[in-house]
Copies of this chain bind each other. A is one copy, B any other.
């Protein structure tokens, strides 16, 4: 056991997967949960997600040794403000937001002295959301990035042990670098996927049913990414604006270079470009972040809740 009592504020995909993973590892004495809507709280009670599901965020954090905010990035400020007076001295306060600079700016002013604030971001997810979507293996072999700033070393190490216990690898980074890395590996790819799906939807000469039928040829992966939670992603782009716009600018620049090569019929340039991108893929397979199995429609994965 790493923490006596853990409070999860927000009971979506990440929080519910944390609850399953903490139980799998025997990492928490008691798990207390809170969600904003009565519907989510009822579902969480029905499936026995936490030891207790309570009616207010404040009640959830009382006496907790670790409090983790698992709400959309845009809601962190209000939640931190609400729970701050009820936090136990010596407790650790963390979050799982996909953006770190904006979350730290929103939360840090509310953190009482004597509470250890250790922002975190597990790089794991699926296109599903809600308390039923979690499963114990979500974090296995994925990375969790801690952004500890000046936080107490013992509190940081303890939170790192929790994440390792839930199956993740743990890294530390400063907030600005985290936000830039995520803009490259996650935020901009998501925006591009949303855009491509939107183009297909708006195109009058090709029907949506044709797009759906023939999606196996590349488009399918984009639609999976573009099915992610709209509120979460709206907040990500609004709060990681600068890094996303920077990477988008570079993306458009490179796209124009390739577009020009197509227009000019420059086959050598295209071939060179497409050859170099293969190396990155090999690295990902070798690093265990994907299998080398050919993808032709995914094989059913472990049951949510398992």
* Contact yes or no, B218 A189, CB < 8 A: yes
Residues of B within 8 A of A177 (CB): 205-206
Residues of B within 8 A of A187 (CB): 218
A220 to chain B, nearest CB (A): 5
* Contact yes or no, A124 B270, CB < 8 A: no
How far apart sit A294 and B225, CA to CA, in the bound complex (Å)? 11
Residues of B within 8 A of A254 (CB): 195, 198-199, 202
Which residue of chain B lies nearest to A276 when distances are taken between CB atoms in the complex?
A: B201
A260 to chain B, nearest CB (A): 10
Residues of B within 8 A of A142 (CB): 216, 296
In the complex, whether A92 has a CB less than 8 A from a CB of chain B is: no
How far apart sit A251 and B294, CA to CA, in the bound complex (Å)? 28
* Contact yes or no, A224 B290, CB < 8 A: yes
- Cross-chain contact of A294 among B133, B210, B221, B276 (Cβ < 8 A): B133
- Cross-chain contact of A277 among B223, B251, B281 (Cβ < 8 A): B223
> Which residue, A181, A185, A299, has most C-beta atoms of chain B within 10 A?
A185
Which residue of chain B lies nearest to A173 when distances are taken between CB atoms in the complex?
A: B210
In the complex, whether A265 has a CB less than 8 A from a CB of chain B is: yes
> Which residue, A228, A241, A289, has most C-beta atoms of chain B within 10 A?
A289
Q: Which of A265-306 contact B (CB under 8 A)?
A: 265, 267, 270-271, 273-278, 280-284, 287, 289-291, 293-301, 304
Residues of B within 8 A of A196 (CB): 188-189, 192, 251
In the complex, whether A37 has a CB less than 8 A from a CB of chain B is: no
- Cross-chain contact of A218 among B205, B206, B225 (Cβ < 8 A): B225
New A-B contacts (16) at CB < 8 Å, excluding given A197-B277, A234-B274: A123-B214, A177-B206, A184-B211, A185-B214, A190-B218, A194-B273, A202-B254, A212-B283, A213-B289, A218-B225, A224-B281, A224-B295, A230-B278, A237-B270, A291-B300, A295-B298
Top 9 closest pairs, chain A to chain B, by CB: A126-B294, A230-B274, A227-B281, A186-B217, A221-B221, A293-B301, A189-B218, A212-B283, A185-B219
- The 30 listed contacts between A and B (C-beta, < 8 Å) are A123-B214, A123-B216, A123-B217, A124-B296, A127-B294, A133-B294, A171-B213, A185-B210, A185-B215, A189-B218, A189-B219, A189-B221, A189-B222, A191-B262, A198-B254, A199-B250, A203-B250, A209-B283, A211-B280, A213-B287, A216-B289, A220-B289, A221-B221, A223-B277, A223-B281, A226-B281, A235-B267, A238-B262, A238-B270, A291-B300
